[in-house]
Amino acid sequence: MEVNKQNPETEVGQPTEERPPQFEALMAFLDAETYEEKLEILYRMQLDLNDYLIDTMAVALDVVIPDGDIDDRYRQLKGCLEAKRKYEINRFR
């Protein structure tokens, strides 16, 4: 068994799993500790959003964003994040 040097977890000849271009931004959103950080990431992702990403982010925030136009869904998700940010308690104050 020959190991792929670029990705040691895969064997040579096996196709590697391709990640969508928004994958890193989505992971950053999910890992963000504050709603402020999540909002900043959402702003940066605005032009690259699709229904799957909005659904994933909504699940992470425990909210439901109804199906519809992508711009409307973005505004609804942003509104939810802004409301959560407003009431977020900062323990380090």
- pLDDT tens for each residue of the chain, 93 residues long: 555 555 555 455 555 578 877 899 999 999 999 999 999 999 999 999 999 999 999 999 999 999 999 999 999 999 999 999 998 876 555
Residue type, 73: R
pTM for this prediction: 0.75
SS3 82: helix
Residue 3: what are its φ and ψ, rounded to 5°?
A: -95, 140
Instruction: Return all residues near 25 (Cβ < 8 A) that are at least 6 apart.
Output: 41, 44, 45, 48
